[in-house]
Amino acid sequence: METALSDFFDSIIAEKGASLKTAEAYRHDIEQFLQISAINEFKQISTQNIADFMAYLGNQGFATKTQARKLSAIREFCKFLFSENLIEQNPAADIDSPKLEKPLPKFLNETEMDALIDAAKTAQDIRHRRITAMLILMYHCGLRVSELVSLPINAINQAKKQILVFGKGAKERLIPVSDAALEEIEDYLSYRHCFIKGKESKYLFPSLSAKEGHLTRDAFYKYLKELAVRAGISPSRITPHVLRHSFATQLLRHHADLRSVQKMLGHESIGTTQIYTHIISEELIETVQKLHPLSQLKK
């Protein structure tokens, strides 16, 4: 058993590229399973004792996410044992993962977004002026940060007020661009040359210091944190993806069609987009509870 465990950990590091920390977490989870289930040899591992172990975790109050992680470790271990012909069948194949509750997306309201943009605009240096353009473009178009930083300079069609974006899986989509965003981009283009110092670049937001040739996601992330402090917003609430969530939430608040929002976000499934409707629903419930005459009468 110990030899197989060692071989398994070596394999997930060498073949799957797992970090030492991840391998150690797997070891802890698997050893816990073997100990709780009183398993001393491979043939004792069964679908039933894996299910019993999962029930034990639930009864002990382990978080759903933790349970899912431990089951993942057991699955990988059983898959390894089966591939090495140490067991005749994979006992973990039919065990369902515990359902993880999806947290509602975090977003900034319109006032907070205005404060963030104002904080960027008040800085006079060209770096912050560039971030202002990126911030407004991302908020007005709902781009992923990877899509934003890697935009080619010819992606924006000023005449048609559209932007061509290559998203996940190399899928392209057209997104309408507001006049406000186009004006910021027009202004930015007048000093874009400062970032390339006479060299050529296909990127809208180039960078000579980044090996990618464009401003990195990490650099944009750091600028956002800095702007949050200036705007009086907790930096812990700000990430590039929060801007994307804010875009979608504000559109639905103003009665945009869900299918249109799905297309602009580049979601494969409408179900992914529907998560934003839960935010609107919760806000409506809070509004009714706060303002409805019967609620006031009860108080």
Residues 199/209, Cβ–Cβ less than 8 Å: no
Q: Which residues contact 156 (CB under 8 A, 6 or more apart)?
A: 162, 163, 164, 177, 182, 185, 204
Identify the active-site residue in 128, 130, 244, 245.
244
Active site residue 168: yes
Would you call 259 a catalytic residue per the annotation?
Answer: no
| DSSP structure class, residue 43 | G
Write down the catalytic residue from 230, 253, 263, 267.
Answer: 267
Question: Would you call 144 a catalytic residue per the annotation?
Answer: yes
Identified catalytic residue from 16, 65, 127, 168: 168
Residue 222 is a catalytic residue: no
Catalytic pick among 79, 241, 253, 263: 241
Considering the candidates 70, 144, 192, 214, report the single residue annotated as catalytic. Answer: 144
- Give residue for tokens 């006992």: 91
Residue in the block written with tokens 């007005």: 140
Q: Single out the residue of 43, 34, 30, 51 nearest to residue 94, CA to CA.
A: 51
In whole angstroms, give the CA distance from residue 151 to residue 146: 9
Looking at the chain, list the stretches that DSSP marks H as alpha helix, in order from N- to C-terminal side: 2-14, 20-36, 47-59, 64-83, 110-122, 126-141, 145-149, 179-189, 217-231, 240-253, 258-265, 270-273, 275-291, 293-298
Which of 26, 139, 188, 276 is catalytic? The answer is 276
Tell me the three state secondary structure of residue 135.
helix
Residues belonging to the active site: 144, 168, 241, 244, 267, 276
